[in-house]
Amino acid sequence: MRLEQLQAFLAIAQTGSFQQAARKCGVTQSTISRQIQALEADVGLELFHRTGQAKLTLAGDRLLPRARKICQEWQFATEELTDLREGKQPELCIAAIHSLCAYYLPPVLQKFCHDYPDVQLRVTSLGSDRALKVLKDGLVDLAIVMNNRFLTTAKEMVVEVLYDEPIEVLTAANHPLAQYERIPWSELIRYPQVVFKDGYGMQRLIQDKFDRMEATLQAALEVNTLDAFRGVVRQGKLIALLPHSALIEALQDPTLAVRPLTSNSNGSAPDVSSLTRRVVMVTTNDRLQIPPIKHFWQLVRENIPPQFDSVQRSAS
């Protein structure tokens, strides 16, 4: 059973004539006849009485509402796919890490809303691993996350590297580590930390570094918002290792201090001064063919990464 056979069947049922149905479908009468003969062979029953006017048989009468529904659904499907191809989609869903949502993404969102006013933009702030999972499950169209090569290597994934940013130390202004211009790792590992919850890329990155140094990460508290990090560290006892983009607001707070890292001066551990995280944009090949998603992708490429030196100066 083929779609064009059902369309021919409906045309005959509507016009009552094989000849008029052929004109309606834009084919020859012999083509219409062959399509109906093939359809009748498939169902094993005659669908029309071959008299002066083509009238439905009992089998044709039973098939009629089903054929209408099938052809209508096909029309709806083709219209939706055409709209998708032309960029007429109702919404665009983005998942992004917290720091990007807070500082670097808003200008991109504003430009997209100006360019696609009819597309509802939905942005969810998630940890990297969770954002990649909802992308894989089809719940969002695009994710901007800390790279996790174990979750971005599937063939259908498209990955754009945006930037690498330094990991720095957040302390209270009166914390002992705040006296350093650059904090040695040999000193940092002595203090308890507030860390991201399990499932966040930053938590995994910091733990991996401590494991390579054969040092113990004193994770005293887990949180998942930048406000919580600042609030806890401000109390004076705990410190935090955070990416530069998560520390922009802290740079303006006199009760907090932000310091870069340096290597150990006594040579007791490997040189791990270069601690960075890589931020990537991820979607799938098929989604990148859709105009609004492609446009958002391009906007991010043009406006992110930020210039960290200028961000630092403007926040100081």
CATH number of 91-160+281-306: 3.40.190.10
Fold (CATH) for 3-85: Arc Repressor Mutant, subunit A (1.10.10)
- Per the listing, tokens 């401000």 go with 234
Question: 270 falls in which pLDDT band (50, 70, 90)?
Answer: very low
Q: Is residue 264 predicted with pLDDT exceeding 60?
A: no
Structure confidence at residue 64 (pLDDT) = 92
How many whole angstroms separate alpha carbon 167 and alpha carbon 279? 12
Q: Tell me: the pLDDT tens digits for 90-102?
A: 789 999 998 888 8
Pairing between β-strand 261-262 and β-strand 183-184 as defined by DSSP bridges:
parallel
| Host H or E run for residue 185 | helix 185-188
Structure confidence at residue 306 (pLDDT) = 63
Lowest mean pLDDT segment, chosen from 84-93, 107-116, 131-140:
84-93
Structure confidence at residue 83 (pLDDT) = 66
Q: Is residue 112 predicted with pLDDT exceeding 90?
A: yes
Q: Is residue 177 predicted with pLDDT exceeding 90?
A: yes
What is the value of pTM for the model shown?
0.71
Helix (H, G, I), strand (E, B) or coil at 264: coil
Give me the architecture of the 164-277 domain, per CATH: 3-Layer(aba) Sandwich (3.40)
Mean pLDDT of the chain: 87
Q: Is residue 81 predicted with pLDDT exceeding 90?
A: no
- 197 DSSP assignment: P
Burial class (CB in 10 A: 0-12, 13-18, 19+), 54: buried
Question: 269 falls in which pLDDT band (50, 70, 90)?
Answer: very low
R_g (Cα) of the chain, nearest Å: 31
Q: Matching CATH topology for 3-85 and 91-160+281-306?
A: no
Structure confidence at residue 266 (pLDDT) = 46
Strand positions, DSSP E, the chain:
48-50, 54-56, 91-96, 120-125, 142-146, 157-172, 183-184, 193-196, 219-223, 240-243, 256-259, 261-262, 276-284
Lowest mean pLDDT segment, chosen from 72-76, 159-163, 202-206, 215-219:
72-76
Kindly list the domain boundaries of the chain, sorted by start residue.
3-85, 91-160+281-306, 164-277
Structure confidence at residue 268 (pLDDT) = 44
Q: Tell me: the pLDDT tens digits for 21-46?
A: 888 888 998 998 899 999 989 889 89
Contact 29, 19 (CB under 8 A): yes
Higher per-residue confidence, 6 vs 86: 6
Q: Tell me: the pLDDT tens digits for 210-241?
A: 999 999 999 999 998 899 999 999 998 999 99
Question: 115 falls in which pLDDT band (50, 70, 90)?
Answer: very high
Largest CA-CA distance found in the chain, in angstroms, rounded: 104
| Count of CB atoms situated within 10 Å of the CB of 90 | 8
How many whole angstroms separate alpha carbon 222 and alpha carbon 197? 5
